[in-house]
Structure 1
């Protein structure tokens, strides 16, 4: 994992550095530190730096500091540190603090009494140590995921030393950026490579920050630019991954990102099998392109057949023909009949249990059952209709982003 700004600020010796704005984004990853001596910083940074402003070699009035805040936000620095004291910058103007807060740019005040040589040494050392720890974590997780280890017992010992939480059931998520070839064709090799590396790093940083907020979560990067998450089992995991997919749209830039979710691996000895499942689900997600970006291995039985259909319009037409009559666009809850049909199929046609699942009165479900049969022209007792509806609902759930009232 990378070094987050909040971790950096907690290093012994940096306690006097105070956050003045942008505290909500202290999870940002710090790639390196940079002392700004020029009037502007836009052309001197690449993103992810913690930029220090001293005012020693260039006057730093309010207008210039505001410009640095704007530039820093535009290029994606991790944060801006302004040194204050009696000699150069006496204080940070309130307008600068307000603008940084508005943009969400972490703005930190450092007293001149805290020597820059001490600060840069502490930060540089921490970044090197964190980089080494991260490489070790990726190495051991990569071995467990691929099964390429000399001894499982040694792998367990190394994982314990690195404090990796392997003593709980985990699900593996495989993520990969898509449409890379099209991006290179649009921009050419030089610009395409720059955009690709930028997006790859942004996605990796976002995943690291996301994992820091998820207890027990781990991340790794495998050869072939395959991003891996290991996540503890939780009831709302699919919803959390759907939200993550939406959040990754920005870092992915021009490219798309798809995810495959494995079944539960109850022990690290089963990580290899879980990775294989996640990759199979990822292949299906890439071909069917669900709106949530996610495919679950548990759904692969039918979906593997569907991905063999090269023309997506054939699949869409099947869903429209099967479920279209049940979507009541003029009503407050246009998908109510679809949710009812889904619950009935899950409960094997038992209306009472379907009502309990939906939190509705049995009479309401009975009325909806009658309406489903009326609009579809088919009986819920018809096994062919139930089979078609189950497949169509599976595709619909993958394709719709707002199908829950």
Structure 2
């Protein structure tokens, strides 16, 4: 687990530092500390810093302090420390305290009598120790996930030494940022790359905060464009873990920052040698989540059912032929909305044939839906309620949703 602001406030010798606002952010991970010497800080921080404001080298009135806090929020700082005393900043303005609470940024007061050299030495030492332990934990987890380890028993001993409990059942969670391809299509490479890196820093910080709040002691690792971590799966514990994760992903997608993640979950893992396969399962569920369940944000490998069989077929032509054999007649390429009948049929199946609910979901009149049903039945030669048609069409619709070609055409 990364060093948090809560950990820092508990360090020996720092008891004089007092939290004044933003307590909801105490589980934010601290990457490093930064002592602000200039009028602004935006150009000097990257996210995750604990920013110290002394007022020694630059006057700090209320407006400037508020400006610094807003810049810190934009850049994703972990917290802000204001040094107070008679000489420079006499007290923390109430307006700054209120803003820190509103933004969720921990605001800490440090008296000038507590020497800065002591504070930075204690924090710096703790950060180095934490990072060294965290790097070892990441290394252990990555070796398990990739299967690249010389000796499993030795790796198990390292895990015990680093206080990683792999004796309980766990799940592998893989998250991926959405819309990267569209980002680079719409903006110049330099601008798109800058946004992407900032988005990754922001997501890394927020995800680590959530894991800290859940008491998750396993490290967060990154591989390519994925964030990977472990979730406990014991009795009702996994349901609670999955619930907070799904809620967090939805809130993130509904925010105004353009950040959106999809998640794939593996089956339960109980043996160390099974983590490589679990990562493959999580990635498979993640890919299917993007195609089949984007609104739910999470796809659970254990709940994929027959989709696992479809995704295991190596020849995509077999799947494509099956889809076209059964529902290809519904794809009207010469129309403005070539997928209209496919989407109508899919909605009908999702609503268990309830015409009223299907029409409401599609945003059309029931008479219009009945007309589409008649077209579907005429083109396929089957009544929608026919059992064999329902089975084949359900599989064909799933293949249609899984198809990357469909996604490209649909965009």
Q: Is 1:196 the equivalent of 2:223?
A: no
Residue 74, structure 1, aligned to residue 102, structure 2: no
Cα offset, 1:63, TM superposition = 2.8
**For 2:271 and 2:255, how far apart are their aligned partners in 1?**
32
Structure 1 match to 2:271: 267
Match of 1:326 in 2: 354
State the 1:165 CA deviation.
1.5
The 3-state SS of whatever aligns with 1:81 is strand
For the structure 1 residues 64 and 203, does the alpha-carbon distance in structure 2 shift closer, same or farther, using more than 3 Å as the test?
A: closer
Show CA shifts across 1:234-269 (max 9, x none): 234543332132244389954642221111112222
2:43 aligned residue: 43
Tell me, in whole angstroms, the C-alpha distance in 1 between the residues paired with 2:256 and 2:99.
Answer: 27
Distance 2:384 2:305 in 1: 30
Aligned to 1:228: 228
Measure, in 2, the Cα distance between the counterparts of 1:391 and 1:241.
31
Match of 2:17 in 1: 17
Q: Distance in 1 between matches of 2:342 and 2:119?
A: 59
Matches within 5 A, 1:333-344: none
Report the CA distance shift for 1:216/1:65 in structure 2 as closer, same or farther (over 3 A).
closer
2:253 to 249, 252, 258: 249
CA distance in 2, matches of 1:151, 1:207: 31
Determine the structure 2 residue equivalent to 1:31. 31
- Higher deviation after alignment, 64-73 or 29-38: 64-73
The answer to whether structure 1 residue 85 and structure 2 residue 61 are counterparts is: no
Name the count of aligned residue pairs: 353
Cα distance change on mapping 1:181 and 1:172 into 2, 3 Å: same
The 8 Å contact of residues 252 and 259 in structure 2, kept in 1 or not, is answered as: no
Task: Give 1:305 shift.
Answer: 3.9
What do you get for the CA RMSD once the two structures are aligned? Answer: 3.5
For residue 84 of structure 1, report the CA deviation from its aligned partner.
Answer: 0.9
| SS of 1:138 mapped into structure 2 | helix
Provide structure 1 residue ranges, at least 5 long, that are not aligned to the other structure: 333-375, 397-405
Aligned counterpart, 1:402: none
Task: Give the stretch that moved more between structures: 316-325 or 193-202.
Answer: 316-325
Relative distance call for 1:236 and 1:316 in structure 2 (3 A) is farther
Tell me if structure 1 keeps the 8 A contact 2:208–2:220: no
TM-score, normalised to structure 2, is 0.75
Distance (whole Å) between structure 2 residues aligned to residue 129 and residue 43 of structure 1: 28
Output the CA distance in 2 between the equivalents of 1:222 and 1:278. 14
Residue 268 of structure 2 aligns to a residue in which SS?
strand
Q: What is the CA–CA distance in structure 2 between the aligned matches of 1:11 and 1:252, rounded to whole Å? A: 36
> How far is 1:91 from its partner?
1.5
Aligned counterparts of 2:190 and 2:197: Cα–Cα separation in 1: 11
Q: Is the 8 A contact 2:221 2:227 kept in 1?
A: yes
- Offset at residue 328 of structure 1 (A): 4.3
- Tell me if the contact between 1:30 and 1:78 (Cα under 8 Å) persists in the aligned partners: yes
Q: Name the CA distance, whole Å, in 1 between partners of 2:309 and 2:299.
A: 11
